[in-house]
Amino acid sequence: MKLSIVTSLYCSAAHVAEFHRRVRAAAAAVTPDFEIVLVDDGSPDDSLTLALGLCARDPQVRVVELTRNFGHHQALLAGLAASKGDHVFLIDSDLEEAPELLGTFWAAMSADPRLDVVYGVQERRKGGLFERLSGRMFYAVFDFLSNTDYPHDTLTARLMTRHYVDSVLQYPEREMDLWCLFSLAGYRQKGIAAVKLSKGTSTYSLGRRIAIAVQTITSFSNRPLVHIFFAGLAVTLVSMLWIAYLLVNRLVYDNVPEGWTSILASVWLLGGLILFSLGIIGIYLSKMFLEVKGRPRYIVRSIHGGSEA
């Protein structure tokens, strides 16, 4: 098979039909030998029912039904694992990213056969002022705390070779960020500027965005632990200098420091640093706990359409 198109469905009932129409037209313009893999990530709406209807009418559609909601990245991995094409086009189904990007990416990859990945990069980050500023802050923090080359403002939309996809699927970790795996896999990759629309609502709340940021940083970098060491070393050195200063004042100048304000402030500062450090260590320990269990990333209930049905 020449091409696989992979997407996940979660609260996507309003977009499934149009997505199928547009992505099918984009694929047909590239090659007649393609498949569309729709992964139902335990969607609470009618996404699965609509996807199964498309599967019944279109023999080039396959539906991977997961047993529950495992998360966006896990669902995309399930789709990549189920795909068969020599090239795989990954894209979200909410139509914020144009399915017609497939033609653009295909032309770029055809122009340079050495490329293994062509991915979209937002020309201008979507959303309001808070979303744009928080995005910049995340990338600044991530670049500081990680040695992973993580492209900024990338889209889900990307065209990949089969060899590259198989390499990404070799990573065994369960506590992960899929975009970091895309970077870690290496190969020759090229970003192309694209426009990402905004539908006005998002399934990612502020709390969920913060959780994803923590997940991304702690899954692919041990630098927070290193920074804890240096922070502890710095506090220790400052404390030793302060103690030396107090001893000199007492023994040489007979000055006895008075008041409890500085002591109380120091106690609160050190207590906060200790709790913060223990929290970071706890996050890493929890990741080790989950990884050691070896739980599956996702569980497939059934595959509809194709030879696996």
- The tens digit of pLDDT for each residue in 141-178 reads 666 666 666 667 788 889 999 999 999 898 887 777 78
Q: Report, as an integer, the average pLDDT of 45-61.
A: 90
Which whole-number Å values give the CA distances from 139 to 123, 133, 152, in the listed order? 16, 10, 7
Q: Is the pLDDT of residue 265 over 70?
A: no
Q: Region 60-84: what's the mean pLDDT?
A: 90
Task: Compute the distance between CA of residue 130 and CA of residue 120 in angstroms, rounded to an integer.
Answer: 22
Is pLDDT larger for residue 205 or for residue 50?
50
Question: Under a CB-based contact definition with an 8 Å cutoff, are residues 91 and 154 in contact?
Answer: no
Asked if pLDDT for residue 44 goes beyond 80, the answer is yes
- Starting at the edge strand found earlier in the chain, the sheet holding 154-161 runs 189-194, 117-122, 154-161, 87-90, 3-9, 34-40, 61-66, 300-304
- Determine the pLDDT at residue 292: 74
Calculate mean pLDDT across residues 246-264: 66
Q: 40: pLDDT confidence band, cut at 50, 70 and 90? A: very high
For residue 201, what pLDDT is reported?
53
Say if residue 37's pLDDT is above 80.
yes
- What pLDDT, on the 0 to 100 scale, is given for residue 162? 93
Give residue 102's pLDDT: 93
Give yes or no for residue 5 having a pLDDT over 70.
Answer: yes
Query: Mean pLDDT score of the chain, rounded to an integer?
Result: 79
Q: Which residue has the higher pLDDT, 298 or 264?
A: 298
User: In the chain, pLDDT over 70 holds for what percent of residues?
Assistant: 68
Q: Which band of pLDDT confidence, cut at 50, 70 and 90, is reported for residue 106?
A: very high
Is the pLDDT score of 131 beyond 90? no
- Span 244-272, average pLDDT: 67
Among 17-31, 224-238, 295-309, where is mean pLDDT lowest?
224-238
| pLDDT of 259 over the 80 cut | no
Written as six digits, the tokens of 208 are 């969920």
- Cα 232 from Cα 238, distance rounded (Å): 10
The single-letter DSSP state of residue 169 is T
